[in-house]
Amino acid sequence: MSHKHDSWGWMLAVDFFFAGMGGAMLFIAGIADFILGAGNTSVLGNFIGPVFIAIGACFLILELGRPFQAFRVFMNPKAILTFGAWNMTFAIVLGIIFASFGIPVLPWSGLTVLRKILAALCIVLGFVVATYPGVLLGRHKARPFWNGPGIMVLFFLSSLVTGAAAHILCGFIFGESSWLVSQGLILDASGSVVLADLPHITAIFLLFQLIFWVGYVWIKFSGASEREAKAAQRWIHGDLSTSFKLGFIFWGTIVPMVLLIFTQHVLQIVGACLAIVGGMIMRYLAVRGGEDRTWLPGELKYRSKLPHGDEEFMKVFVTQRRTDRC
Amino acid sequence: MAHYAMVIDTRRCIGCHSCTVACKVHNELPVDMIYNPVTTIGPIGVFPNLHMVHIPLLCMHCENTPCVDACPTKASLRREDGIVWIDETKCVSCKACVMACPYGARIPNHGKGIVQKCDFCMDRVDQGKVPRCVQSCHQKARIFGDLDDPNSEVSILTNKHHTVRLLDELGTKPSVLYIYGLGGQMR
């Protein structure tokens, strides 16, 4: 038994991570294609973007109390979760169709106008999927750490970082599979200026991420209300501080930012991997940061007195109930 | 149409928790679920001038319902008479409402895979009875009625006393109003 206030668990953080990364991959691929034309991001990266969104959706379903009735989350157009679910669905379907244009043997791969339309749709859908978790969290009035538009920017930035890092990694994997290009099975992206510049662009995103996160926590700490200051304390001195400072800020932001500046491929690969791990840590911490509601008078004291479930009398009680049922 | 509301007179509440127990029994709640906690502030002051305030908490049945707005399955609903309830057949326990509720009034039932909450005992209210917690309160600290009826006890009390709503600054307009005062003032 647990009397702690139930809140979203790690699976939602994983959903936010994969959906954000996939959404940003679509966003980047869409922009590259729309402005510069086909073959500017790897076909693998274009395919993996919607696949990541689908993986995120699977975790979202697993988070539900009744996963087999997941279709019900599409029912209320006024709810932001429904909005997000529809967007993820469209992004998965249109993202895969868009990625299929990188396979020249398919009959529709030469339809440039259709590809451009899909690229434009991928920009919009990718942006929404990458940003909506931040909007979802920012609307919670009684969650002092989340509340406000700032979290939306942080989620979009982290999505851009992880999405760009995933594109960098896909570009390297794609490079190793160059026989597919020589056979004419997939579009060549080896000479892409986007893939060449993406590590440096990602380093700039990481710099923004560093500045925005430090600013966000500082503003919350010295901000509008005592509740916000208390919530920010967890990130500065509390239980989340080590993971935040060491895991996310140092290993997940500063180190990859430095590594991605260099031109050596090995350093760029390590930097991209660290940036992705940093994104995962950030999602987990952000979800945990919202556990604390604005407590009502006397509520914390009341909850602290309730049994946790591991007390001797509780064990006896639960055993007795099981025996009675049998 | 009625607008059901509850006035809680903290001057009368002695923190006996009989409302908590009555609610659990009536709604057949599992051991780890409580709709109606009664929190305690204090003792406040210096001996011999000590006071204690007990604050019964429950779903606030807000007029502006963040929980209903957040529900993606349309399982969370607000009736015309102001009662906020959950259609358990539609709930998938996505916990969007749990996170959106500023009052912690929604609790996931892990056994059933749904979220549950206080519904002002709407089965009893529809029969013209008062909620179980109101019936069980021997100090008459909980008063239930129609806020739109000028002759109802809740209307009279809200006009007579200065009532407060919890977290009023969030703009949720709760239908549970508190007459706040130190315990023992009604002796």
Residues 60-99 of B with CB under 8 A from A: 66, 69-75, 90-96, 98-99
Q: A316 and chain B: CB distance < 8 Å anywhere?
A: no
Burial class (CB in 10 A: 0-12, 13-18, 19+), A18: buried
**Do A293 and B102 make contact, defined as CB atoms within 8 angstroms?**
yes
**Do B73 and A317 make contact, defined as CB atoms within 8 angstroms?**
no
Q: Which of B138, B68, B67 is nearest to B102 (CA)?
A: B67
**Do A6 and B107 make contact, defined as CB atoms within 8 angstroms?**
yes
Angle at A101 (CA atoms; ends A82, A32), nearest 5 degrees: 75
pLDDT confidence of residue A190: 72
d(CA A158, nearest CA chain B) in Å: 23
Q: What is the mean pLDDT of residues B16-27?
A: 95
Interface test with A, best of B57, B69, B71, B73 (most A CBs within 10 A): B73
pLDDT along chain A (326 residues), means of 10: 65 96 97 89 92 96 93 93 96 96 88 94 97 94 91 97 95 73 72 85 97 94 84 91 96 97 93 97 94 88 84 81 74
Smallest Cβ–Cβ distance between B74 and the set A69, A76, A294 belongs to: A76
Share of chain B above pLDDT 90, in %: 85
Transcribe chain B into DSSP letters.
Answer: ---EEEEEETTT-----HHHHHHHHHTT--TT--S--EEEEEEEEETTEEEEEEEE------SS-HHHHH-SSS-EEE-TTS-EEE-TTT-----HHHHH-TT---EEETTTTEEE---TTHHHHTTTPPPHHHHH-TT--EEEEETT-TTSHHHHHHHHS-EE-TTGGG----SEEEE---TTTT-
pLDDT confidence of residue B186: 47
Per CB-CB distance under 8 Å, the chain B contacts of A3 are 32, 34
pLDDT confidence of residue A185: 72
**Do B41 and A65 make contact, defined as CB atoms within 8 angstroms?**
no
Smallest Cβ–Cβ distance between A142 and the set B69, B94, B170 belongs to: B170
Per CB-CB distance under 8 Å, the chain A contacts of B115 are 65
pLDDT confidence of residue A245: 96
**Do A296 and B57 make contact, defined as CB atoms within 8 angstroms?**
yes
Highest-pLDDT range among A28-42, A217-231, B38-52, B58-72? B58-72
Per CB-CB distance under 8 Å, the chain A contacts of B69 are 78-79
Centre a 10 Å sphere on the Cβ of residue A320 and count the other Cβ atoms it contains. 10
pLDDT confidence of residue B183: 55
Question: Quick one: CA torsion of B168, B169, B171, B172, rounded to 10 degrees?
Answer: -40
pLDDT confidence of residue B16: 95
Instruction: Give the confidence band of B72 by pLDDT, cuts at 50, 70, 90.
Output: very high
Smallest Cβ–Cβ distance between B99 and the set A7, A70, A298 belongs to: A7
**Do B40 and A302 make contact, defined as CB atoms within 8 angstroms?**
yes
Over residues B139-162, the pLDDT tens digits come to 999 999 999 999 999 999 999 999
Residue B187 has pLDDT above 60, yes or no: no
ipTM of the complex: 0.89
Residue B132 has pLDDT above 60, yes or no: yes
